[in-house]
Amino acid sequence: MAKYRMNLMLCAGTGCVSNKSFEVRDALSAELERRNLQDEIQVVPTGCQGFCAQGPILLVEPDGIFYQLLTPADIPHLVEEHFLKGRPVEKFMYRPEKKAEPIPKIADIEFFKKQQLIALANRGIINPENIDEYIARGGYRALAKALTKMSRDEIIREMKESGLRGRGGAGFLTGLKWEFAMRAEGDEKYVICNADEGDPGAFMDRSVVESDPHAIIEGMCIGAYAIGASHGFVYIRDEYPLALARIRKAIADATEYGLLGENIFETDFSFEIQVNRGAGAFVCGEETSLINSLEGKFPEPRVRPPYPANSGYLGKPTNINNVETWANVRHIIANGAEWFSRIGTETSKGTKVFSLVGKVNNTGLVEVPMGITLREMVFEIGGGIPGGKAFKAVQTGGPSGGCIPHTMLDLQIDYESLKRIGSIVGSGGMIVMDEDNCMVEVARFFLSFTQQESCGKCPPCREGTLHMLNILTDICRGRGQEGDIELLEEMASRVGEASLCALGQTAPNPVLTTIKYFREEYEAHIREKRCPAGECKELITYRILEDACTGCTLCSRNCPVDAIAGERKQVHVIDLETCIKCGMCHTVCRFDAVKVE
């Protein structure tokens, strides 16, 4: 094997690929060859490296030099200066907001400092399409240990003692779930990986599959052995083409190496995995809906009991876990339950992967110990709010979660703490909002999503969420009435209690939490016909301030409906009858002369 003096770890996750990461890779390879450096410097396409806001990302090892926002045009200069002459290039390094000096080393960047990687242990370190690199990092050793040194009961006991809870949303103890499936009677059993991630702003599962597909396969093999299954499915969104391609290649490579198929590690355990493409229905995140879809039926939830552990796919005992849960398994078996249970809190063990997005400087994928505070997530890892705006709230748990206000920034992130205040950990979506976000509109947006994604099977979810959405829409459009808030609260309670599955049961969470923590915004919309955040179009107007307008004409030149009149170097005026409230004038004005009222 060739020994390289330098490895260029180039992020090739979906986020960076969308920003021309593959073109950067090709430019690097071509320039290294042109400089006769191809035998001493290797380009390694990795999975998501996490810091998505700065992609494409290039990590130079063993130096630990972190380059970001690269383009193909940057490559000749980078190769000549750093890789040929040994002079790292500062202008390509990460520079935090309002900091004069760039940060050259990845270890010194705040975004990475408080992270602890387990599910993402191979993030940015291996080529996810090379099984040998996974094996070199200890891959499949946990499977070998499970098959040759542990009984099924011992594996399940280890999983239970680890305290790992399902990372897909419900937070049920993984080991206990496995035990139910193992004890269930059945001549055939199944395991399923739920990779049907559908929350707005969430990309945890996609990134894990893209970065480390063999970790999922190894976890599924261990789980299958523990419950007595011989067949497994990866149910993955068809909208994830890169993840889909990588899990398929990983399955093919593992089969070729004898790590899937017949008599794995020369034992009597045989196991195969089939990939199924999801059709984009959010409700398929619910496990019984997923099973129906897998069987070719309409994706709607089943009445429980019986639970899938007793009657799942084709009526057989079935265990379903999500991507992140499976990715944790090999580390628990390899390192022991005690090692894992020391991380996190008393009831929420281990780490959790979050997609940190929205109004925050450092958007990306992070893995942190359970129990970290919202303040640490938003202001240390996340780097705070762009443009000096005030932090307002964070939505955790996707459409099924709740909005947490700025007064709770020191709240710990764990299952119990979030549940106490009306939110959930969910699968790990975390959307940050600033002072310009209207919380009534936030509730309307998330409820609109869940209402559209409802399968329609049960009336509380189908009809209840629709009526709630209509009320919220009226409030946002200036048609709200006294009593609407109380009606929303009552309907939310009924929908949550009577819905068949978790989609309907949790759909009211964004509404209830925004009413609880931002009630004054609802009241302003209803009583004053005013949107305090200036987001609801029907409740705002744009006005140009006489003492601030310079007459530069930038607003009038960018107005799509010619609603702004005025001569150069004179105060401009907006025709409110013509104005469509697109906000373009406010966006382009350089003098803060356009006021939103």
How much is the average pLDDT of 522-536? 94
How much is the average pLDDT of 547-558? 94
How much is the average pLDDT of 517-523? 97
pLDDT at position 199: 82
Give the model confidence (pLDDT) of 36-70 as tens digits. Answer: 999 999 999 999 999 999 999 999 999 999 999 99
pLDDT band at 202 (very low <50, low <70, confident <90, very high): confident
Q: Count CB-CB contacts under 10 A for residue 570.
A: 12
pLDDT at position 282: 83
Check whether residue 145 and residue 243 sit in a common domain.
yes
Which of 162, 146, 157 has the alpha carbon at shortest distance from 332? 162
Look at residue 20 and tell me whether its pLDDT is greater than 80. Answer: yes
What CATH number should be reported for the domain holding residue 74? Answer: 3.40.30.10
pLDDT band at 453 (very low <50, low <70, confident <90, very high): confident
pLDDT at position 2: 56
Q: Count CB-CB contacts under 10 A for residue 6.
A: 17
Range of the domain at 324: 131-341
pLDDT at position 348: 95
Helices (H) and strands (E) in the chain, counts: 24, 17
What CATH number should be reported for the domain holding residue 458? Answer: 1.20.1440.230
Q: Does residue 485 lie within any of the structural domains?
A: yes
Look at residue 503 and tell me whether its pLDDT is greater than 90. Answer: no
Half-sphere exposure of 365 (CA within 13 A, CB side): 29
Check whether residue 220 and residue 308 sit in a common domain.
yes
DSSP-based three-state secondary structure for 65:
strand
Mean predicted lDDT score pLDDT of the chain: 94
Q: Count CB-CB contacts under 10 A for residue 548.
A: 13
How much is the average pLDDT of 414-433? 92
pLDDT at position 99: 76
Q: Does residue 124 lie within any of the structural domains?
A: no
Give the model confidence (pLDDT) of 505-519 as tens digits. Answer: 999 999 999 999 999
Contact 178, 156 (CB under 8 A): yes
In the chain, the amino acid numbered 97 is E
Count of domains for the chain: 5
Q: Does residue 583 lie within any of the structural domains?
A: yes
Q: Which helix (H) or strand (E) holds 465?
A: helix 459-476
Check whether residue 103 and residue 195 sit in a common domain.
no
Q: Tell me, letter by letter, the H, E, C secondary structure of 342-411.
A: CCECCCCECEEEEEEEECCCCCEEEEEECCCEHHHHHHHHCCCCHHHCCEEEEEECHHHCEEEEHHHCCC
pLDDT at position 597: 84
How much is the average pLDDT of 73-99? 93
Please report, rounded to a whole number, the percentage of residues in the chain having pLDDT higher than 90. Answer: 87
Look at residue 219 and tell me whether its pLDDT is greater than 80. Answer: yes
Residues written for the chain = 597
pLDDT at position 479: 96
Q: Does residue 120 lie within any of the structural domains?
A: no
| Alpha helix stretches (DSSP H) within 110-240 | 110-113, 131-136, 141-149, 152-162, 174-183, 204-211, 213-227
Look at residue 307 and tell me whether its pLDDT is greater than 80. Answer: yes
Give the residue, 100 or 256, on which the prediction is more confident.
256
Check whether residue 381 and residue 461 sit in a common domain.
no
- Taking the chain, what is the end-to-end CA distance rounded to the nearest angstrom? 67
Q: Does residue 116 lie within any of the structural domains?
A: no
Give the model confidence (pLDDT) of 134-185 as tens digits. Answer: 999 999 999 999 999 999 999 999 999 999 999 987 789 999 999 999 999 9
pLDDT at position 1: 41
Q: Give 249's contacts (C-beta < 8 A, 6+ positions apart).
A: 129, 213
Look at residue 398 and tell me whether its pLDDT is greater than 90. Answer: no
What CATH number should be reported for the domain holding residue 172? Answer: 3.40.50.11540
Q: Count CB-CB contacts under 10 A for residue 310.
A: 18
Q: Which helix (H) or strand (E) holds 595?
A: strand 594-596
Give the residue, 208 or 285, on which the prediction is more confident.
208
Give the model confidence (pLDDT) of 107-120 as tens digits. Answer: 999 999 999 999 99
Give the model confidence (pLDDT) of 318-357 as tens digits. Answer: 999 999 999 999 999 999 999 999 999 999 999 999 999 9
